[in-house]
Amino acid sequence: MKDNFFGREYDIAPAGGETGQAFVATHEDEKFFLKRNSSPFLAALSVENIVPKLVWTRRVENGDVITAQKWVNCHILTREEMVGPRVAKLLAKIHHSENLRHMLEKIENCYFSAHQLLARLKAEMEAKNEANNVMQTAIEYLERNITAVEKADYVVCHGDVNHNNWIISEENELFLVDWDGAMLADAANDLGMILYQYIPREGWDEWLSNYGTTLTSELHRKLKWYTLCQTVMQLTTNQSEEAYERAKQIFQNAIEDDEV
């Protein structure tokens, strides 16, 4: 497939991914990563060097907005690499960035409290009629513990921090990509999904130290609460088999955590 941008004809090919909205555009020695209808928040992330550099944005005839980012030769982080301090430090940079928070809240109303997340989850489960015994146990836990997690400092959360969204360039730059689910919420939304998925329990203290915090009983409860809330939501929505199995395993790790 070919398309024209700024008077040049580019070869367009699918870039893979679960949404089918990403493409690779090449013209002679130029190469871009294209995404259809990315969040306007992408520009702020580019400035902060959280994602590969945004080169241009264009609205096409059908109304879609196409963004082009610098092509980065890279590798996707392995599960083992998620344990290292670089992931923790970049996530801390994102969570603690006032610029990113201000930019995201200007673009859209995307605050999500524990009460809002739980209400959305229950509505989704009711609509899909997905209330099996295990999920009902999780919902009861969420309802029973919501007062313990409702106090939050709202930060920019990515919302899907699995290892497939972390890349390292040939220049050794670490990026976190695919920000379509960005929201302002408790940092535990991101932290829990990493800890329960990749970090052995004995490594939590060190990983959180690299992030810049310590594991308290209050934080531990938040990690479990938000992880259960996210994974139950994922298990009730349509997604790939790989994503479903990933959510299922994380859910199991969190529901079996009886320390809180």
Residue 29 annotated as catalytic? no
pTM for the model stands at: 0.90
Can you tell me the distance from the alpha carbon of 39 to that of 210, in angstroms, rounded to the nearest whole number?
29
- Chain-wide mean pLDDT for the chain? 91
Of 5, 7, 23, 25, nearest to 15 by C-alpha is: 23
| Residue tagged active-site, from 11, 160, 178, 180 | 160
pLDDT band at 20 (very low <50, low <70, confident <90, very high): low
Mode of pairing for the β-strands spanning 2-5 and 8-14: antiparallel
Residues 229/117, Cβ–Cβ less than 8 Å: yes
| More confident site: 63 or 108 | 63
Q: pLDDT value at position 62? A: 84
> What homologous superfamily is domain 76-255 in, according to CATH?
Aminoglycoside phosphotransferase (APH), C-terminal lobe (3.90.1200.10)
Q: Give tens-digit pLDDT for 21-34.
A: 678 888 777 888 98
Which secondary-structure segment (H or E) carries 139?
A: helix 133-149
- Contact partners, residue 116, CB within 8 Å, separation at least 6: none
pLDDT band at 131 (very low <50, low <70, confident <90, very high): low
Residue with tokens 């992330």, as numbered in its chain: 45
